[in-house]
Structure 1
Amino acid sequence: MAALIGAFLVQAPATAHSTSSSAGTYRGEGDSLVRIPVTTKPSIVKITHQGEGHFAVWTLKPSGDKQDLVANTVGDHKGTSAFNTRSGGKVRALSVTADGVWTLQVLPITSARSWAVNAKGAGADVIRLAKPSTGLRRLTIRHSGEGHFAVWALSNDGRLKHLLVNKVGDYRGSVALPPGSRYATITADGAWSITRK
């Protein structure tokens, strides 16, 4: 019995870890620092987390400084966020705070899901038009949730263009889509829809 107790006491504690299962896809559990190829291009990261506590993901510059907060929630999470959308950004790693298992898939922003006329979703997402918008276009936007809801229009090269909506809780309204917009990023904790006319 004493030998068993001694063996238990000297066992190394469980540690968080991460692995790269394929190019651009990383999996892990708990807190972790994930190194990715240095990029200055606008990109997206598809994120999942299964846990009960605080979950957050920051992009980090080569210097180690934080740049973009791409996930920040409590409990389970599933969503897509854009990063490097400001000019001059450079990302070298992703810093994960988690109490459960997670996956990160880093992709070019051109991999964002297609947005023709109607787009629907729940939680964070990035959507892409087939080509940049022209003329006067109206977006009818709805959100059913309790937290922060924001919609940004991004340019053809994936850079921040215009903040269209920035509210807390439920939202219903119509806004103009600036000409030259190609992408939209959505921050949400509930279901949302965007219709383009």
Structure 2
Amino acid sequence: MKKLIKPISLIAQLAIVAAMTTVVVTSANANQTFTGTEDNVIDITPIKAASILTFSYEGDGVFTASPVDSAGTEGLSYSLEIGSFTGTYFQKTPSKPITALSIKGEGQWSVKISPLKSAPVLGAKMGSGNGTSVISIGKATTASKRITWKHDGEGVFVVTPISAKGVASFPLFLKIGAYNGTVIMKSGVQYFEVKADGNWSYSIK
């Protein structure tokens, strides 16, 4: 007597297919790096959360880089620089995913996209750096603090506090040239976006 072979159920078939298939997932929070030598619009893994973008440029002309969202709308430029430079900029959580970057610059350029949490950690009480940067002080402040900033550059000096969740507040100040001043920093701050063309430092009391 022959045994009847029952048809394999749909669930079983799906299980077999799943076992035979390797799925490679690319995290939206993974670092992304791109390079080029001329104007270009580059497609990226969509930016959906607070991030930092580091641009490097070697050339004599104007360099700009702007976000392009999923609707194809180009936003304001992260930077407008003339000549060679390197700088890191903050990107808040966008209302629509950022799916491309519009780069304009004749010369060697590169861009690195990273999650906000990858920002370099400086001291909870004091720290220093140079140029345009995004930094972390380790943990979010739990109360209002006095913070003193110093800058020895000649251009614009702006410091914007950012919460642990990646929400930016109004800049602490906007100055031009050398600066040495103390301001109040509210609680909940863990990161700063510093826009500068010289050496800078801070101390928190």
Superposition TM-score, scaled by structure 1 size: 0.82
Q: Percent identity?
A: 30
Residue of structure 1 aligned with 2:104, choices 97, 101, 117: 97
Match of 1:144 among 144, 148, 152: 152
What are the within-5 Å matches in structure 2 for residues 1-197 of structure 1? 24-85=32-93, 88-116=95-123, 117-197=125-205
Gaps of 5+ in 2: 1-29
The question of whether the paired residues in 2 share the 8 Å contact of 1:28 and 1:101 is answered with yes
CA offset digits 1:18-71 (Å, max 9, x no partner)? xxxx95011111111111111220100111110001011111212222334222
C-alpha distance in structure 2 between counterparts of 1:183 and 1:135, whole Å: 15
Deviates more, 1:99-108 or 1:157-166: 157-166
Deviates more, 1:155-164 or 1:102-111: 155-164
Q: Which amino acid aligns with 2:119?
A: A
CA contact (8 A) 1:84 1:90 kept: no
| SS of structure 2 residue aligned to 1:110 | helix
Q: How many residues align?
A: 175
Partners of 2:163 and 2:99 lie apart in 1 by 23
Q: 1:148–1:167: 8 Å Cα contact kept in structure 2?
A: yes
Letter in 1 for 2:165: D
Q: Separation in 1 of the partners of 2:183 and 2:64?
A: 30
Amino acid corresponding to residue 48 of structure 2 in structure 1: T
Structure-2-length-normalised TM-score: 0.79
Q: Tell me, yes or no, if the aligned pair for 2:56 and 2:87 is still in contact at 8 Å.
A: yes
- Once the two structures are TM-superposed, the CA of residue 185 in structure 1 deviates from its matched residue by 0.3
Alignment match, 1:10: none
**CA RMSD across the alignment:** 1.7
Shift of 1:76: 0.5
From the two aligned structures, give the one with the greater strand fraction.
1
Q: Which runs of 5+ in 1 are unaligned?
A: 1-21
Q: Which has the larger radius of gyration?
A: 2
